[in-house]
Amino acid sequence: MMAGKLIATREGFGEEIVTMGKQNKDVYVVDIDIGKSCKTVKFRCELPEQYINVGIAEQNGAGVAAGLATTGKIPFVVTYAVFGSLRMVEQIRQEICYPNLNVKIACSHGGLTPANDGASHQAIEDMGVLRTIPNMTVIMPADYVATKKLVKAAAETYGPMFLRFTRDAVPVIYDEDQEFEIGKAVKISEGKDIAIIANGDTVRLGLEAKNLLEAEGVGVTLLDMHTIKPLDVDAVLEAAAKTGRIITVEDHNIINGLGSAVCEVVSEEANAKVKRIGVQDQFGMSAPYERLLAMNGITVENIVATAKEMLGR
Amino acid sequence: MKSMEKRVAYLRERAKELRKSALTMIYEAQSGHPGGAFSIADIVAALYFDEMNIRPEDPQWADRDRFVLSKGHVCPIVYAALGHKGYFGQEHLHTLRQEGAILQGHPCMKKCPGIDISTGSLGQGLSCAVGMAIAGKRDKKDYRVFAVVGDGECNEGQIWEAIMSAYTYKLDNLVLVIDNNRLQIDGTCDEIMPNIDLTRKLEAFGFETFDIDGHDMEEILATLAKCKASKNGRPKCINAHTIKGKGVSFMEDELAWHGIAPNQEQYEQGMKELREAWCSEENEEEDPTTVEEYLEGMKELEGGAK
């Protein structure tokens, strides 16, 4: 059992990509000179024939990956989330998504997790920007187990994808036998009073909030929405119908991320109230990660308080 | 093996017909970019009708040579080549930029057979060509990758990123052709963003370079042969000195003809000039007027030249 063990999702990526590369010689890594930090060193050492490093040149990296994909390769472009999205967004649009090529953008340091680095390195817009591009799939796993399973699924599923991992060690939530499907939420708990929909590192916050609320007799549906595009619309609608109250939690700007995606569905097809917890449309700064989360209300306490407010308790 | 003289005569005819097709496409669409299409017409003719190892009946053939039009806006000249090679039916050559057409305003690999990568946003195609060339090396395939980049396009920083990676990965299977027509949209390259000396720049970036007249078919063929023979680990750059609008007098070296379509009078004048250009006396009388007639005539010429 790994549950409870602390390990960063980027470590899960670093391990699984080697397994994938050994299974399929077409799986490539295109590094952009931050391989050490993004955990591709093992891949580089063990699978040099499937490894490319383009240096500090994100735009070229995206294009090289597109070219590789036209020949049947499955390149994973690896960098930090802020660069793997915004620094090469037009290349992703023109040369990867428009031709619908089988390129994966696999990024560490998602959200506010590069905390000490400051706002320049914190990725708060990445998932939102990329989910607006046709053909793109956008994924953020919650823990080490989810990361390994979703990296495997990404390598085995055709199409452009953005996978967002994070820097810090987070608790392992899932058992090894938990199944993951791209585009299908994981229902961690089911309750009738309120739904919490989270992704990535914030699933652990949702889990703690759920436990606190349940201890007070509140029934909580907790969904790990690891894929924000395509969104699991059925899971959102089911949660909305069951509870009528949804709280979304994400380490991303509240504009255009998970919360927005949920609101889009609920406003059109359900009768439920949605409260979004996430980065308050403001840049971060150099500070401890937990402090940055607190500055934006991304805390267990705020989830619980928001739930009580919605429940009128 | 065709004699050089016959190959050159044949390819000049081909280039002329590509220009006529492209001009017709742009005239019919009343939209498109004739200037830069004409500056690369001779190189495109040499690549598609002589140099590249391709199978029009099997556009996805894994061992084919790849062609990347990084300056995607001049696609009508490539569409003409693909159409004349038989990648798609001739009727498509009259559908440029129309709703539902396979011939999009900028090349789309998902719609048009024979397009190896979608392009249109400048500065990006060369990176894709590098990816294709790396895959060729890793898979131990003999195919080569030809990428046509504009001199104005070299303003884009990504071009230089791609150039550096081509050197790093020793891509002697990559041929970068720079269409050095000295004009960009808002002015001459010298006015907007001088390239100074692209041959020396590419040399400094580790490429094996060739400075040529991009309209001299004999020189084009000789240079392509040198590129093919040179397996020294260095990527190749052909700095092709060209004239924007080459082949139609009033378009030549004229900034205004970057991205506009001719009116009827200009179209007819242009076609007349193209018909008369490089026309050997023996061919003059039977000058074809439609693509279909042309292809019939070409079959005979091709048979004779082999």
The alpha carbon of B86 is separated from its chain's Cα centroid by a whole number of angstroms, namely 17
A89 touches chain B (CB under 8 A): no
- As a whole number of angstroms, the distance between CA A117 and CA A287 comes to 8
User: How many domains is chain A partitioned into structurally?
Assistant: 2
Whole-structure pTM value: 0.95
> Are A93 and A198 part of one and the same domain?
no
Residue with token string 């402090």: A291
Distance from CA of B170 to the nearest CA of A (A): 13
- DSSP annotation of A218 reads -
**How far, CA to CA in Å, does A181 sit from each of A268, A283, B226?**
25, 33, 52
Residue at a domain's end among A129, A144, A171: A171
Chain A residues near residue B137 by CB distance under 8 angstroms: none
Q: What confidence score (pLDDT) does residue B300 get?
A: 59
The ranges assigned to domains in chain B are 1-303
For residue A198, what are the domain limits? 186-311
> Are A227 and A113 part of one and the same domain?
no
- As a whole number of angstroms, the distance between CA A292 and CA A224 comes to 22
Distance from CA of B118 to the nearest CA of A (A): 6
* Cα separation of the two ends of chain B: 6
> Are A225 and A99 part of one and the same domain?
no
> Contacts for A45-54 with beta carbons within 8 Å, 24 or more apart?
A46/A18, A46/A21, A46/A22, A47/A18, A47/A21, A47/A22, A49/A25, A49/B138, A50/A21, A50/A25, A50/B138, A52/A28, A52/B134, A52/B169, A54/A30, A54/B161, A54/B165, A54/B168
* Cα separation of the two ends of chain A: 37
Distance from CA of B35 to the nearest CA of A (A): 24
CB pair distance less than 8 Å for A59 and B164: no
pLDDT bucket at A204, cuts 50 / 70 / 90: very high
> Are A53 and A156 part of one and the same domain?
yes
B12 phi/psi in degrees, rounded to 5: -65, -40
Residue at a domain's end among A136, A171, A206: A171
Distance from CA of A283 to the nearest CA of B (A): 28
Closest CA to A196 of A81, A298, A293, A122: A298
- As a whole number of angstroms, the distance between CA B63 and CA B246 comes to 33
CB pair distance less than 8 Å for A67 and B134: yes
Q: What percent of chain B has pLDDT over 70?
A: 90
Per the annotation, the verdict on A49 as an active-site residue is: no
pLDDT of B305 above 70: no
Q: What is the pLDDT of residues A4-34, one digit of tens each?
A: 899 999 999 999 999 999 999 999 999 999 9
B69 touches chain A (CB under 8 A): no
Residue A50 forms part of a structural domain? yes
> Are A191 and A43 part of one and the same domain?
no
CB pair distance less than 8 Å for B121 and A62: no
A71 touches chain B (CB under 8 A): yes
- As a whole number of angstroms, the distance between CA B257 and CA B245 comes to 7
In chain A, whose CA is at the least distance from the CA of B136?
A71
- Rounded to the nearest 10°, the torsion over CA A51, A54, A57, A63 is -70
What ipTM was reported for this prediction? 0.96
> Are A83 and A196 part of one and the same domain?
no
Residue at a domain's end among A139, A171, A203: A171
> Are A245 and A281 part of one and the same domain?
yes
CB atoms within 10 A of CB B169: 21
> Are A108 and A52 part of one and the same domain?
yes
B247 touches chain A (CB under 8 A): no
Q: What is the pLDDT of residues A126-178, one digit of tens each?
A: 999 999 999 999 999 999 999 999 999 999 999 999 999 999 999 999 999 99
> Are A127 and A238 part of one and the same domain?
no
pLDDT bucket at B262, cuts 50 / 70 / 90: very high
Mutation target vs B (from A24, A70, A79; most B CBs, 10 A cutoff):
A70
Q: How many CA atoms lie within 13 A of A310 on its CB side?
A: 24
B100 phi/psi in degrees, rounded to 5: 85, 0
Q: What is the CATH number of the domain that holds A127?
A: 3.40.50.970
CB pair distance less than 8 Å for A66 and B128: yes
**How far, CA to CA in Å, does A112 sit from each of A10, A140, A201, A250, A269?**
15, 14, 10, 10, 32
Residue A132 forms part of a structural domain? yes
- Rounded to the nearest 10°, the torsion over CA A92, A96, A97, A99 is 150
Catalytic residue (one of A11, A16, A49, A58):
A58
In terms of CATH, what superfamily is B1-303?
Thiamin diphosphate (ThDP)-binding fold, Pyr/PP domains (3.40.50.970)
Closest CA to B228 of B248, B210, B252, B205: B210
- As a whole number of angstroms, the distance between CA A25 and CA A27 comes to 5
pLDDT of A1 above 60: no
